[in-house]
Structure 1
Amino acid sequence: MDYKDIITIKSDVRGGKPCIRGMRITVYDILDYLASGMTEEEILNDFPELNKNDIRASLAFAADRERKFTRIPA
């Protein structure tokens, strides 16, 4: 998934943390909710401004960041 149109990083929103579409909901928030056991549906019910693509984009962003972070130099 191409998350670049969904995940935004702005210095004046949540201190420059990666957020969903310029809102104050961070990728970390989404990941934390999922890690605590919340389902996609529960997250979407609690935050109606989000959609399934926002959650998927958060996961794709985190996976991409992890992939870049764990790359071992040749």
Structure 2
Amino acid sequence: MNHRRYITRAPAICGGEPIVAGTRVTLRTVLSSLAEGMAPEAIVADFPSLTEASVRAVNCLRCRVCRGRPAVARHRQIPDLA
């Protein structure tokens, strides 16, 4: 999955925290919802600017980071994690 399409960060948006591209929803928010056991459909219902694909991309990135892959970069887009 190409995470660049779904995840970005910019200093002027949400203090530079990683966000779902095209929204002001932080990865922290999506990850917290997933950790509480919410289904992607329920998260999308709570945050209509998200798509199920973007929620899955956040979860896939979490899995990659937990396996020791590179974390989110400090610039606008994350590196290619393929």
Fold match (TM-score > 0.5): yes
- Once superposed, which parts of structure 1, at least 4 consecutive aligned residues long, lie more than 3 Å away? none
Count residues with an aligned counterpart.
Answer: 69
Q: Where in structure 2 are there 5+ consecutive unaligned residues?
A: 71-82
Structure number with higher relative contact order (C-alpha < 8 Å, ≥ 6 residues apart): 2
Q: Where in structure 1 are there 5+ consecutive unaligned residues?
A: 70-74
TM-score normalised by L of structure 2: 0.73
- Residues 4-57 of structure 1 show CA distances to partners (whole Å, capped at 9, x for unaligned) of 121011011111111001421011111100111211111111111111111011
Distance in structure 2 (CA, Å) of the matches to 1:60 and 1:37 = 16
* CA RMSD of superposed structures (Å): 1.5
TM-score normalised by L of structure 1: 0.79
User: Which has the higher Rg, Structure 1 or Structure 2?
Assistant: 1
Percent identity of paired positions between Structure 1 and Structure 2:
32
